[in-house]
Amino acid sequence: MPLQFAYSNQDFVTDVHRTGGNIPVTASPPSKFDATIKAGWTDRMNRGLFRYHLGDLETIVLPGTHGYVAQLNIQRGTERRKPQEILSIHQEFSAKQFNFNKVNPDEIIFDMKKDSVGANEKGHVVEPCRMVVLINVSPLEFGHCLFVPDPSCCFPQVLTTFAIQAAIESVLLSSDPGYRMGFNSLGAFASVNHLHLHGYYLDQELKIESMPVKALVPEKGFYLFLDFPGGFLFYTESQAVEEVARAICQVTDFLVDGNIAHNLFLTRGCPPCDRTQNKKDHLSRKGVRIALWPRISCFGAKEESAFNVALCELAGHLPFKNQKDYELTTEKDVMGIIQRYLLPGAEFHTLEQQLTHHLIDV
């Protein structure tokens, strides 16, 4: 039987902050969530359950205004499982293909459940749902795990309110500002069509944690990035997680209905603001920033030689597949690669208006 990890809202860590630069500051002692993941992940690494041994990755911050964090991770590019053939954002789950019901049980670190029974909007009692946390055997970084909502339900890779709420709550359970989570839709470099999110630790500050935004529907936590390639931002603190999770799914459901692929990235971040904030607010990490990028779909597309453009790359974390590209790629090169996968300006602007009206109307 996997370890059982139960939590409640009282376990959320709200005093996380940074000192500036790339030195993360964590609450002391580490949270129960962090300790459980790190111990379980390290144990599986020591037992040889990964496809390769992940040591300290060679890391640099590319010169330029975006602060891209480049890492050399050759083995992930060569040793990871071959991605499934994805033909549609609406592709149904297939039991014949690899899915997370087929993993080695030893790869599971714990079953995660919220330790409370609530009521939905109609007053019906809702039992806590199960989230299985297992190692990603081809890790991006330390602690790289997959979060799979009840694998036996065989959900396709389409985001649900429970999945995104559990992801936000997982970030709030961590006392480490370097803990991140993310989601790739089908057509956005999701490699397995079985609902899952990624979680991992990156001890480097990303610009996305504090980048200025424009308010679109602030009452639902919805904003637009001002100085970062075409993306939206949701923001929430511990008291508004359920409402923001519903709003995020209203947007991702709209995108799925419109056959628009998308990536999400969740990280501790400072409160949204349209300008550079004072030092105290700028370094606050008590809330969660959820970045969302609608993008051009990639079905059976040839992969980039340097890095694929998925959840972490759009957020500024670049796992390079080879030494040459790692050493020679500039910020300008990175922006050129990323731009090829984002929606053209006019199409993105139209979508911005549609999503704004959609969130106001629902």
When pLDDT is averaged across residues 241-263 and rounded to a whole number, the result is: 97
Mapping DSSP to helix (H, G, I), strand (E, B) and coil, where does residue 7 land? strand
Q: Which two tokens stand for residue 147?
A: 């979060």
CB-based contacts of 39, cutoff 8 Å, min separation 6: none
Environment class of 15 (CB within 10 Å of its CB; exposed 0-12, middle 13-18, buried 19+): exposed
Position 280 scores a pLDDT of 77
Residue 333's pLDDT band (cuts 50, 70, 90): very high
pLDDT, averaged across the chain:
91
CA 31 to chain centre: 20
Q: Which two tokens stand for residue 129?
A: 């749902």
Position 278 scores a pLDDT of 75
**Rounded CA separation 185/261 (Å):** 6
Position 20 scores a pLDDT of 66
Instruction: Please determine, for residue 5, whether its predicted confidence score (pLDDT) is greater than 60.
Output: yes
pLDDT tens digits, 140-170: 999 999 999 999 999 999 999 999 999 999 9
**Rounded CA separation 145/43 (Å):** 13
When pLDDT is averaged across residues 296-300 and rounded to a whole number, the result is: 84
Residue 270's pLDDT band (cuts 50, 70, 90): very high
When pLDDT is averaged across residues 270-281 and rounded to a whole number, the result is: 83
Position 271 scores a pLDDT of 93
Mapping DSSP to helix (H, G, I), strand (E, B) and coil, where does residue 248 land? helix
Which run of H or E residues covers position 359?
helix 345-361
pLDDT tens digits, 212-237: 999 999 999 999 999 777 899 999 99
- What sections of 152-263 are H helices per DSSP? 161-173, 241-257
Q: Is the pTM above the cut of 0.85?
A: yes
Residue type, 79: E
Instruction: Please determine, for residue 281, whether its predicted confidence score (pLDDT) is greater than 70.
Output: yes
**Rounded CA separation 142/135 (Å):** 10
Position 87 scores a pLDDT of 85
Instruction: Please determine, for residue 77, whether its predicted confidence score (pLDDT) is greater than 80.
Output: no
Instruction: Please determine, for residue 67, whether its predicted confidence score (pLDDT) is greater than 80.
Output: yes
Beta strands 131-135 and 108-114 are antiparallel
Position 86 scores a pLDDT of 84
8 Å CB contact between 199 and 143: yes
Position 362 scores a pLDDT of 79
| Phi, psi angles (nearest 5°) of residue 189 | 70, 20
Position 23 scores a pLDDT of 54
CB-based contacts of 196, cutoff 8 Å, min separation 6: 100, 146, 147, 148, 157
Q: What amino acid positions are annotated as catalytic residues?
A: 196
**Rounded CA separation 334/355 (Å):** 28
Domains of the chain, residue spans: 3-7+18-361
Beta bridge partners of 319: 71
| Phi, psi angles (nearest 5°) of residue 289 | -95, 130
Percent of the chain with pLDDT over 70: 93
Which DSSP category does 83 fall into? P
Specify the range with the lowest mean pLDDT, choosing from 38-47, 79-88, 178-187, 263-272: 79-88
More confident residue, 160 or 361: 160
Instruction: Please determine, for residue 116, whether its predicted confidence score (pLDDT) is greater than 70.
Output: no
Q: Could you tell me the fold of the domain covering 3-7+18-361?
A: HIT family, subunit A (3.30.428)
8 Å CB contact between 218 and 274: no
Largest Cα separation within the chain, whole Å, is: 58
Instruction: Please determine, for residue 78, whether its predicted confidence score (pLDDT) is greater than 90.
Output: no
Position 275 scores a pLDDT of 79
Question: What separation in angstroms does the CA of 68 have from each of 75, 177, 217, 237?
Answer: 21, 17, 28, 26
Instruction: Please determine, for residue 25, whether its predicted confidence score (pLDDT) is greater than 70.
Output: no
